[in-house]
Amino acid sequence: MSLLNFLNRRRSAPVARERLQILLAHERAVHGHRDLVAILQEEILAVIAKHMAIEREKVQVKLDRGKAVSTLEIDIEMPDLAQAAAAAARH
Amino acid sequence: MAKVLVVTSGKGGVGKTTSTASLGAALAQGGQRVVVIDFDVGLRNLDLVMGAERRVVFDLINVVQGDAKLAQALIRDKRIDTLSLLPASQTRDKDALTSDGVAKVLAELREKFDWVICDSPAGIEKGATLAMYHADAAVVVTNPEVSSVRDSDRIIGLLDSKTQRAERGERMEKHLLLTRYDSARAARGEMLKTEDVLEILSIPLLGIIPESEEVLRASNIGAPITLSNPASAAGRAYFDAAKRLRGEDIPMTVPVERRGLMGKLFGRRVA
């Protein structure tokens, strides 16, 4: 083993640092967005619930991260309006 | 005004319990009224590290469930009279802990103490999230090692989103405690440097605890290192960290072991 190899073998901390920086940049993006989706779903539900009864699973929030474009997809399945209004009036 | 502090890390074995005992003892040795609480239900160890394992009668869950009064469960330290311990249950299930129950106990402790220090279990499950939920500030214990740094990053994310302070839109005060640090290896490029860890985690540094044989000796005899060997490098590092918690401006150093003539001659502790 040459002297250079020997020195490089010992200096493993820079490798650790670089691996962590790459990994954490990725993980922070994933966890950050997961939280965003959960928050959006809760807040959208709360707004709709002010006006009509709606089931939790009728509001779907999806986030797709692409290289050029990211999309936020919000899918709200409306309940039958007459029924929902009657239900709200009963509360 | 009492401060509730959570000592947390995500990864196990990095020194949460040692740091809880040492910071708690250091604060109490400085005249502060301190209680340390073990949140590791089923795997309690803070009692053992503090040398109080034979004095446990009631525990946190007994108090939460109303089977014992807080005063009955608190164990007053025999060496420092301003230091108390609230042990975890060794036999009960962690589901016996409820957020409301914990909130009630913490509110009562805030009346009696200046510092309430919660020793979190490892992981990100219920015990860990409950330990951090009601805290005013967090000490994130991290080793200069990749898996520990990664888990600390995850815990910092939880502190900023899953705590009462975060939910109220308030800032969660966070401090990094770097433990088992070896300056010589860091200087040789064999270990992550303090600056590396700080740059990656970007929270303020509370202290650097050097790797020290004295830490194991302290847990062997059941005394926080600030009591068993206050002059040791790790002991002094914990005293400095405790002073910084109180807002004192202490220059950041990594203490080194002081060796007497005999120690220098024989290359290790003589006593």
> pLDDT digits over B35-45, tens only?
999 999 999 99
User: Does residue B10 register a pLDDT over 80?
Assistant: yes
* pLDDT score recorded for residue B265: 61
Q: CB distance from A24 to chain B under 8 Å?
A: yes
Supply B271's token pair.
């006593």
* pLDDT score recorded for residue A3: 66
pTM for this entry: 0.81
Chain A neighbours among B 199-238 (CB < 8 Å)? Answer: 200
Whole-number Cα distances in Å, B32 to A24, B27, B226: 38, 6, 15
DSSP state of A57: G
For tokens 């994130």, what's the residue? B140
Among A7-11, B1-5, B68-72, B228-232, the minimum mean pLDDT is found in A7-11
* pLDDT score recorded for residue A57: 80
Residue A65: half-sphere exposure toward Cβ, Cα within 13 Å = 9
Supply B3's token pair.
């401060």
Chain A residues closer than 8 Å to B154 by CB = 27, 31
Angstroms from A43 CA to nearest CA on chain B: 14
DSSP state of B54: G
Nearest to B192 among A17, A24, A31 (CB): A17
What is the C-alpha to C-alpha distance for residues A38 and B73, in angstroms, rounded to an integer? 39
Angstroms from B143 CA to nearest CA on chain A: 13
Q: CB distance from B78 to chain A under 8 Å?
A: no
Rounded mean pLDDT of B29-34? Answer: 98
Q: CB distance from A16 to chain B under 8 Å?
A: yes
Nearest to B196 among A13, A27, A32 (CB): A13
Q: CB distance from A17 to chain B under 8 Å?
A: yes
Hey, are the CB atoms on B150 and A28 less than 8 Å from each other? Answer: no
**Interface residue of B195, B196, B197 to substitute, partner A, most A CBs within 10 Å:** B196
For tokens 């919000």, what's the residue? A74
Asked if residues B201 and B165 have their Cβ atoms less than 8 Å apart, the reply is no
Asked if the interface predicted TM-score (ipTM) of this complex is over 0.90, the answer is: no
**Amino acid found at A77:** E
* pLDDT score recorded for residue B270: 44
Angle formed at CA B142 by CA B178 and CA A26, multiple of 5 degrees = 125
**Per-residue pLDDT tens over the stretch B164-192:** 998 888 889 999 999 999 999 999 999 99
Q: CB distance from A21 to chain B under 8 Å?
A: yes
Nearest to A10 among B157, B161, B190 (CB): B190
Rounded mean pLDDT of B201-225? Answer: 96
**Per-residue pLDDT tens over the stretch A20-61:** 999 998 888 777 655 667 677 778 888 888 888 888 788 887
Choose among B249, B253, B248: nearest CA to B233. B253
What is the C-alpha to C-alpha distance for residues B15 and B143, in angstroms, rounded to an integer? 8
Name the most confidently modeled range: A5-14, A66-75, B234-243, B253-262.
B234-243
CB-count burial class (<10 Å; 0-12, 13-18, 19+) for B17: buried
Hey, are the CB atoms on A35 and B200 less than 8 Å from each other? Answer: no
